Structure 1
Amino acid sequence: MRTVLIAALGLTCAMPALAADMPPKPVRLGLCAACHGETGMSQIPGAPNLAGQRLDYLRKALKDYRDGSRDVPLMRAAIGPVSDADLDQLARWYSAQTPQTQAPAQP
């Protein structure tokens, strides 16, 4: 019992430190979350999971969608005229998320 109590106390003390590593939730997360989920786990078929993707990859991909280098009209419309700072916040947010296994689809 004593070991369990010590372990629980240790985890309780560590939680604020773990939360401090998480970037702040981006202001522009809403539209992205509609398809990719707030934590980067896809909400609709065909939308990729973004949780845990490399920061540099996400940052470049978002800029490429915005600038038209990646010609995906839905993504370009969703991103619109977003600043580099906003794109960076989104990339940081999704790269910091932990991927989770998804339950198989029900027939």
Structure 2
Amino acid sequence: MRTVLIAALCLTAVAPLRAEMPAPPARLGLCAACHGERGRAQIPGAPNLAGQKLDYLREALKQYRDGRRDVALMKAAIGPVSDAELDQLAQWYSAQTPVAASQP
């Protein structure tokens, strides 16, 4: 009985966390090609985005879109995207579990 109660308490504590996870954004596909659907880089040189701060991601995406960060690949990948779409992408990646640092 005690084990059942502990398990029920654990599940109750985790349920709200799952409810807060945003839905995958519609524009995730092209981002995921390099950064991974869950923010774990798929190619060398692409940064991991999982768990990055929401405000940082939001501002970085706006800077790529607007040309303030002059990276042709990112500007082309983002294309004409609205602030709402950028916000969805930033929310998605910031909500993902960060990648653990590898040990040398």
The answer to whether 1:80 aligns with 2:72 is: no
The corresponding residue for 1:28 is 27
Residue deviations 1:3-33 (CA, integer Å, cap 9, x gap): 4332222233333311111112111011101
SS in 1 for 2:47: coil
Identical columns (%): 66
Look up the match of 1:67. 66
Structure 2 counterparts to residues 1-107 of structure 1, below 5 A: 2-101=1-100
Deviation at 1:103, TM superposition (A): 6.6
TM-score, with structure 1 as normaliser: 0.86
Q: CA deviation at 1:37?
A: 0.7
Which 5+ residue runs of structure 2 have no aligned equivalent?
none
TM-score (norm 2): 0.89
Deviation, 1:102, is 6.7
What CA RMSD, in Å, does the superposition of the two structures yield over aligned residues?
Answer: 1.7
Is the 2:48–2:99 Cα contact (8 Å) retained in structure 1? no
The 1-side partners of 2:6 and 2:29 are apart by 37
Query: Could you tell me how far apart the structure 2 residues matched to 1:3 and 1:44 are?
Result: 47
Matched residues, number: 103
